[in-house]
Amino acid sequence: MSKYINKVFTGLAERNQEQFEFLQATKEVLESLEPVLEQNPEYEKASILERLVEPERQIMFRVLWEDDNKNIKVNRGFRVQFNSAIGPYKGGLRFHPSVNLSIIKFLGFEQIFKNALTGLQMGGAKGGSDFNPKRKTDEEVERFCQSFMTELQRHIGDCTDIPAGDMGVGAREIGYLFGQYRKLTNRFDGALTGKSPGWGGSLLRPEATGYGVVYFAQKMLESKERDLQNKVCTVSGSGNVAIYTIKKLEEIGAIPVTISDTKGAIYQKTGINLQTLKRIKEVERGSLEDYMRAHPDAIYTPIEKYVDHRNPIWSVPCYAAFPSATENELTKEDAQELIKNGCVCVSEGANMPSTPGAVDVFLRNNISYGPSKAANAGGVAVSGLEMAQNSQRQKWDIGRVDEELKQIMHTIYHNANKAAEAYGHPGNLIFGANIAGFIRVADAMLAQGRI
């Protein structure tokens, strides 16, 4: 770390003690910017780093709702509007009991660079709540979403800030949130993305993150004259990102053999059955224990049986791995195990799923490693396309959206690769993605003055 970067990070760490995820994400980005700052002293002169790590606005609010027994419940709501130099704030909402300011800030910070990489006009933001949608009735989720939006609506808008889904926020939640937004503002506009295609949503938005992760992996492998055809792949998670990663992998002839959730992990040698998975997770909102009833040939390991708390998925020999559950789910030991068993590619669906130790192992072994802010940008990219369709009051056909998504993922790969090379770290896409995203945002900040 250079003296300037070290000073910025030390100050940040002092001001944000205990925000471990936020400091992990900022440290990784700041470290990779050293060669850029050396060659471009104007960034330091304009204190771009100090400005970049401080959110433009952070909103925290009380969310009061009634459960089905008329008990009053109180949750905490968040929206961190991190940076709007290249477009209105944009990023998902996460409903999960683990949500706190550190997690929302790390996700919002990552979103700045991810959104810049898409080439679209979107700033970075993230929000959510520590509300747990699990085992809640539809009516309870509806009341929570209405209360959450009663506050959030004053801070968002199609030219200001455009939230979408993330963990725990899917089509059902976006529906309730949009209904309340429309009622309170008297506007039908594109202030949320991930809407249903029947009322303003884009085709392919549900599939976009998972499809994009696979397109990115294909691009990385193509540069080494490799592909995924007939290759065994491991996937973690079993939500939106995991499901559509698996769907695309099947479509291109790869064999995804694992899934996991908060209760355990499944290994099915012959390949995961997408229909069963979709039924359990999208319709019944159940757990993977139920998967075994339909597929007794699969192997289920409940979380209590994990050895040393390690997910058994990463010990399954595979050609490519797609971590798609949550942050820091893949450790240094998992990474070593993957490499030992012949894995040549990791494309990250979740945000920051690999610990710094795991990333280090991937880089030292020179595998094709697609960091989350590049590899999973397909979701927000199609959100950006949904915004474009809403502004035009038009609906594009699925072929057009898929073609644009593919193009965007390919461009992200090329730009990250080019930046990594230009700044002395050829092949290192974590450097490349951070640098390419940074330059676009930093130049916009410079051009727009001292604000």
Kind and range of the H or E run holding 300 = strand 299-302
Query: Cβ of residue 221: shortest distance to ligand NDP, in angstroms?
Result: 21
Verify binding: residue 277, ligand NDP, rule CB under 6 A. Answer: no
Q: Binds 193, which of ligand NDP, ligand 2IT, none (CB < 5 to 8 A, cut-off by type)? A: ligand 2IT
30 counts as binding ligand NDP under rule CB under 6 A: no
Q: Least distance from C-beta 107 to ligand NDP, angstroms?
A: 6
Q: Does 167 contact ligand NDP by CB under 6 A?
A: yes
Interacting partner of 185 out of ligand NDP, ligand 2IT, none (Cβ under 5 to 8 A depending on kind): none
Whether 7 sits among the annotated catalytic residues: the reply is: no
Smaller CB distance to ligand 2IT: residue 190 or 312? 190
CA distances 278 to 3, 256, 281, Å, are 51, 15, 5
Catalytic residue among 105, 126, 281, 373: 126
From residue 21 to residue 50, what is the string marking binding to ligand 2IT with x (rule CB under 6 A)?
A: ------------------------------
91 binds, among ligand 2IT, ligand NDP, none (CB under 5 to 8 A by kind): ligand 2IT
Nearest residue (CB) to ligand 2IT, 105 versus 143:
105
323 binds ligand NDP (CB under 6 A): no
Candidates 115, 260, 331, 355; binder of ligand NDP (CB under 6 A) is: 260
Residue 153 binds to ligand 2IT (criterion: CB under 6 A): no
Which residues are within 8 A (CB) of 397 and not within 5 positions of it... i.e. 6 or more apart? 203
Torsion sign over Cα 103, 108, 113, 119: positive
202 binds ligand 2IT (CB under 6 A): no
Find the distance separating the first CA and the last CA of the chain, reported in whole Å.
Answer: 27
Tell me which residues in 155-174 interact with ligand 2IT (CB under 6 A).
Answer: 164, 166
Residue 374: name the closest of 213, 257, 234 by CA: 213
* Residue 26 interacting with ligand NDP (CB under 6 A): no
Angle, vertex CA 145, rays to CA 143 and CA 146, nearest 5: 65
Complex with ligand 2IT: residue 104 or 367, whichever CB lies closer: 104
Q: Is 386 in the site for ligand NDP (CB under 6 A)?
A: no
Contact between residue 96 and residue 137 where contact means Cβ atoms under 8 Å apart:
no
Report the candidate in 129, 55, 144 with the shortest Cα–Cα distance to residue 99: 129
Strand pairing report for 89-95 and 258-260: unpaired
- Tokens representing 440? 């676009």
What lies within 8 Å, CB to CB, of 134 at 6+ separation is 285
Separation between Cα atoms, residue 221 and residue 216, nearest integer Å:
9
Q: Is 137 left (phi over 0), alpha (psi -120 to 50) or beta?
A: beta
434 binds ligand NDP (CB under 6 A): no
Query: What are the backbone angles phi and psi of residue 124, rounded to the nearest 5°?
Result: -110, 135
How many C-beta atoms surround the C-beta of residue 45 within 10 A?
9
- Compute how many residues bind ligand 2IT; rule: CB under 6 A: 11
> 223 or 391: whose CB is closer to ligand 2IT?
391
- The C-alpha atoms of residue 235 and residue 229 are separated, in whole angstroms, by 16
Closest CA to 278 of 242, 235, 303: 242
Which residue stretch of 274-282, 356-364, 376-384, 422-430 sits at the interface with ligand 2IT (rule: CB under 6 A)? 376-384
Q: Could you say which of 370, 379, 384, 432 contacts ligand NDP (CB under 6 A)?
A: 379
Residue 432, contacted partner among ligand 2IT, ligand NDP, none, CB below 5-8 A by kind: none
Residues in the chain: 451
Quick one: CA dihedral 318, 219, 326, 193, positive or negative? negative
Residues marked active site are found at 126
Q: Which residues bind ligand NDP (CB under 6 A)?
A: 165-168, 209, 237-242, 260-263, 287, 324-326, 349-351, 376, 379
Q: Which residues bind ligand 2IT (CB under 6 A)?
A: 90-92, 114, 164, 166, 193, 351, 379-380, 383
